[in-house]
Amino acid sequence: MNPLRRTFLNGFGAAGALSISITTGLLKPWEALAAEWNKSAFEALTMTDALKSVGGAGATESKDIQIKAPDHAENGAAVQLEVTSKIAGTTSLAIFVEKNPRPLIADCEFSNGAEPYIFFRTKMGESSRIRVLARAGGKTYFATKEVSVTSSGC
């Protein structure tokens, strides 16, 4: 696993202890995963905390990150997102919905020919800005896009 990812996901320090646990059989593989799944980042309640947890606090804004999302989503249950980074050497993308109760939605690491591109659908509790963080050459970049959600009741 590459060292940049470690920084991006966990901050420093956790990696060594984890591999020891696996090799000594203290943890079953999925428990290892659960431990590695960046709890503090995914469970962060505010955008500031979530950003900090993935080391994205000092990112620079970039027009080379494209966020394809509807300006107006009729239904917040499934808002389609398509994210592409044109920044050379992009290895990871992290996606946030700023106003969701848990802002961090996904983070993705690309290797062995995978393009820095991801397509999926997210839940949105209300109108919000989508923020995407890209990591390339040891630096972080970001872009945002506003999506308004109009959900009708019945």
Partner 1 sequence: MTLDRRSFLKLIGAGAGAAGLPLIGRAAELMPKSGKRVVVIGGGYGGTIAAKYIRMADKSIEVVMIERNDHFVSCPFSNLYIGGILKDLNPLTIKYDKLAANHGVKVVQAEVTAIDAAAKVVTTSKGTVSYDRLIVSPGIDFRLDEIKGYDTAAMEAMPHAWKAGPQTVLLRKQLEAMKDGGTVVITVPLAPYRCPPGPYERACMVAHYLKQSKPKSKVVMLDANPDITSKGGLFKKGWKDNYASIIDYRPAKKVTEVDAKAMAVMIEGIEEVKGDVINIIPPQRAGQIAVAAGLVGDDKNWCPVNPTTFESTKQAGIHVIGDACVAGAMPKSGYSANSEAKICATNVVALLNGKETTELSGINTCYSYITDKDAVSVAGVYAVKEGKIIAVPNSGGVSPADFSATKIEAIYAESWLKNILTEMST
Partner 2 sequence: MAEAIKIRATLQGDVADVKALMNHVMETGLRQDPASGKVVPAHFIQQVIATFNGKTVLDTRWGPSVSKNPILGFRVKGARAGDKVVIKTTDNKGETLNGEATVA
Binding site for partner 2 (CB under 8 A): 9, 28, 30-31, 33-34, 37-38, 42, 77-79, 82, 97, 100-102, 104-115, 117-124
Which of 33, 77, 89, 114 contacts partner 1 by CB under 8 A?
77
Which of 74, 82, 126, 146 contacts partner 1 by CB under 8 A?
74
Contact indicator for 38, 53 with CB cutoff of 8 Å: yes
Residue 32 Cβ vs partner 2, minimum distance, rounded to whole Å? 10
Site for partner 1 contains 126 (CB under 8 A)? no
Query: What binding mask, one character per residue, do residues 32-71 give for partner 1 by CB under 8 A, x or -?
Result: ---------------------------------------x
Site for partner 1 contains 114 (CB under 8 A)? no
Instruction: Dig out the tokens for 39 from the structure.
Output: 């709890």
Cα(109)–Cα(36) distance, integer angstroms? 14
Cα(5)–Cα(8) distance, integer angstroms? 5
Residue 73 Cβ vs partner 2, minimum distance, rounded to whole Å? 11
Report the partner that residue 49 touches, choosing among partner 2, partner 1, none (CB closer than 5 to 8 A by kind): none
Contact indicator for 70, 147 with CB cutoff of 8 Å: yes
Q: How far apart are the first and last CA of the chain?
A: 48
Query: 17 to each of 29, 50, 136, how far by Cα in Å?
Result: 14, 23, 27
Q: Which amino acid is at 145?
A: K
Instruction: Dig out the tokens for 9 from the structure.
Output: 């996901």
Site for partner 1 contains 78 (CB under 8 A)? yes
